[in-house]
């Protein structure tokens, strides 16, 4: 059997010691998004679970880069000038031009010093960090959070920087091999922090005291000149990356594809680690980006600073965390994943199907033995919370219909009834069932295409009189078909067979049914809708019309 990628990686790192540290990093240049959770959340945590089962003592870290400079991009500045639009996470309006005063004031400022646009935290970095950290456990991510503002206060960090300064010529030689233009002779791998404008992006180091970790600097942004300390500033990013490995004894680390090119940025850090810091670089693996679709348009890969994204807490409003875990674990690490909030029901269906296959049911579509084994192993890696447990799951579309047409007090009862009528099995966990209905209802309200939004209408009796005899006959037959159907698939087959027998256009028949129930020409798949509202309610609705 072919190994799952997570299992293959676990075998390749087994000889790195009994205690293994897995790290990943987040820049809080904006909201952390669900795309970040692929390489820097879910996948390394799944790897950690496998290694623990193999007897390893695993530590997990998340490095939060809060000492990076604020780039002052439009996708960041809009948070201070149009909060309501920013919260849509679709970038900026085409005609948006930020205030030059705002841009200049915040450009280059440390993320930990940028104000919180919501004014509920002490800084921009604190706000976005806390917002995601609070939901990480739900996605199975249990890691120590380390901010780079903390990292720069570590004695070992300054020790590494001192080594770089001692071997500055060799350092420049290594870095130059990965640059198109050589570094200037006066280059120092450090930017000081300006005490006046709080910029960390562009400084001239006039002199430095290695023993005291103190610099005399001039800020190129505002002209301030004075003393600054190492712990307040920032190393060149290559040095910073290699030093993080050195300080926290990192053994395993995912990274984005932008660092994966042979002879690229990560390779330069590997050389710095081996030749100057004298450490073994961590085992690395890369993943593709995660894109996002809005209103049918691919907006590109999710970006925090560009504010094109979906946040983890927003995902939890519309789907279970294990659905996202399965989506990331099941697909190849090097395959781009495109997430469309309109299609969340498809991701949930994919997870539900995997759960059924794992518990021995036949797949809905033919799969090879290899694919079945891959589905089972991916599901097994996904379900770190409920290993071996199978819950009763009402299908997502039916759950969304229940949420829209039933009062909250009846959600669980209705969902159990629908699931049982479809022949679905599993342990009844009322909280889990309620949460699925609630999430599916949120999806229908916030993201669903119009035809999934349900409001049942009372059709006019005149409708029947306007129909031809074949259509009236189809409605009478539909009552019996609904009563006898065991599940959606069977009802689908019956309805199309009936249309063929009566020589009725399926398009005409289904449009009529949607008008009867919803007062419009389209809606969710009819069989899903009928099972969602309950067969008895559907039958009563038709009978009242046919009287």
CA distance 238 to 259: 11
CA distance 364 to 71: 49
Query: If DSSP codes are grouped into helix, strand and coil, which group holds residue 303?
Result: strand
| pLDDT at position 534 over 90 | no
CA distances 234 to 94, 207, 374, 402, 477, Å, are 34, 16, 44, 54, 74
Residue-wise pLDDT tens digits, 207-265: 999 889 999 999 999 999 999 999 999 999 999 999 999 999 999 999 877 766 666 68
Q: What is the H or E stretch that residue 252 is in? A: strand 252-256
| pLDDT at position 57 over 70 | yes
CA distance 238 to 310: 29
CA distance 419 to 289: 36
Cβ pair 366, 317 in contact under 8 A: no
pTM, 2 dp: 0.91
Helices and strands per DSSP (H, E), number in the chain? 24, 13
Q: What is the H or E stretch that residue 430 is in? A: helix 430-446
Instruction: Show Cβ contacts of residue 410 under 8 Å, excluding neighbours closer than 6 positions.
Output: none
Tell me how many degrees the CA angle 462-467-469 measures, rounded to the nearest 5.
Answer: 130
CA torsion sign for 510, 445, 290, 45 is negative
Tokens of 247: 């300080």
In 24-58, which positions are buried (b, 16+ CB within 10 angstroms) versus exposed (e)? bbbbbbbbbbbbbbbbbbbbbbbbbbbbeeeebeb
CA distance 289 to 336: 6
Going by pLDDT thresholds of 50, 70 and 90, the confidence category of residue 420 is: confident
Of 10-24, 54-68, 381-395, 514-528, give the lowest mean pLDDT range. 381-395
- Pairing mode of beta strands 57-65, 19-27: parallel
Cβ pair 114, 77 in contact under 8 A: no
Residue-wise pLDDT tens digits, 140-197: 999 999 999 999 999 999 999 999 999 999 999 999 999 889 999 889 999 999 999 9
The span from the first CA to the last CA of the chain, in angstroms, equals: 61
Residue found by looking up tokens 């994943």 in the block: 337
Tokens of 131: 């917002």
Residue-wise pLDDT tens digits, 213-226: 999 999 999 999 99
pLDDT on residue 101: 97
SS3 string of 336-374? Answer: CEEECHHHHHHHHHHHHHHHHHHCCCCCCCCCCHHHHHH
Q: Percent of the chain at pLDDT above 70?
A: 98
At residue 339, what are phi and psi to the nearest 5 degrees? -105, 125
Of 124-138, 155-169, 455-469, 531-545, give the lowest mean pLDDT range. 455-469
């Amino acid at each position: 059997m072919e190994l799952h990628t997570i299992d293959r990686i676990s075998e390749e790192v087994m000889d790195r010691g009994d205690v293994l540290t897995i790290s990943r990093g987040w820049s809080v240049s904006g909201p952390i998004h669900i795309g970040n959770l692929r390489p820097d959340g879910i996948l390394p945590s799944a790897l950690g679970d496998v290694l623990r089962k193999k007897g390893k003592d695993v530590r997990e870290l998340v490095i939060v880069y809060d000492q990076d400079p604020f780039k002052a991009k439009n996708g960041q500045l809009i948070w201070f000038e149009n909060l309501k639009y920013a919260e849509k996470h679709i970038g900026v309006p085409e005609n948006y031009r930020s205030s030059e005063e705002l841009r200049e004031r915040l450009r280059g400022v440390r993320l930990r010093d940028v104000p919180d646009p919501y004014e509920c935290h002490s800084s921009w970095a604190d706000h976005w960090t806390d917002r995601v950290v609070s939901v990480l456990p739900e996605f199975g991510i249990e890691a120590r959070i380390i901010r780079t503002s903390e990292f720069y206060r570590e004695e070992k960090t300054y020790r590494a920087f001192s080594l770089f300064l001692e071997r500055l010529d060799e350092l420049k030689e290594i870095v130059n091999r990965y640059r198109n233009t050589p570094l200037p002779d006066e280059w120092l791998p450090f930017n000081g922090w300006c005490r006046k404008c709080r910029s960390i992006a562009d400084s001239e180091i006039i002199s430095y005291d290695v023993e005291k970790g103190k610099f005399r600097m001039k800020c190129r942004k505002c002209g301030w000149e004075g003393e600054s300390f190492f712990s307040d500033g920032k190393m060149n990013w290559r040095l910073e990356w290699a030093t993080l490995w050195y300080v926290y004894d990192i053994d395993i680390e995912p990274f984005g594809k932008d660092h994966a090119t042979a002879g690229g940025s990560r390779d330069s850090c590997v050389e710095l680690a081996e030749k100057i810091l004298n450490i073994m670089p961590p085992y690395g693996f890369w993943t593709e980006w995660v894109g996002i679709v809005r209103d049918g348009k691919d907006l590109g890969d999710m970006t925090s600073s560009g504010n094109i994204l979906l946040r983890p807490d927003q995902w939890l409003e519309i789907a279970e965390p294990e659905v996202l875990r399965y989506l990331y674990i099941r697909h190849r690490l090097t395959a781009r994943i495109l997430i469309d909030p309109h299609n969340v029901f498809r991701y949930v269906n994919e997870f539900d199907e995997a759960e059924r296959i794992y518990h021995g049911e036949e797949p809905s579509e033919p799969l090879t033995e290899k694919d079945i084994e891959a589905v089972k192993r991916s599901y097994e890696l996904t379900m770190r919370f409920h290993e071996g447990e199978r819950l009763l799951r009402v299908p997502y579309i039916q759950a969304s219909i229940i949420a829209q047409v039933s009062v909250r007090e009846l959600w669980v009862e209705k969902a159990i009834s629908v699931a049982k009528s479809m022949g679905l099995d599993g342990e009844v966990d009322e909280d889990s069932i309620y949460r699925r209905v609630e999430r599916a209802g949120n999806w229908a309200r916030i993201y669903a295409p119009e035809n999934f939004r349900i409001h049942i209408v009372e059709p006019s009796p005149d409708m029947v009189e306007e129909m031809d005899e074949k259509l009236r006959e189809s409605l009478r037959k539909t009552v019996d078909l609904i009563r006898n159907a065991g599940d959606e698939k069977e009802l689908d087959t019956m309805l199309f067979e009936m249309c063929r027998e009566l020589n009725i256009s399926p398009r005409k028949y289904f449009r009529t049914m949607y008008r009867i129930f919803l007062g419009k020409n389209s809606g969710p798949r009819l069989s899903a809708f009928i099972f969602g509202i309950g067969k008895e309610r559907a039958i009563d609705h038709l009978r009242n019309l046919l009287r």
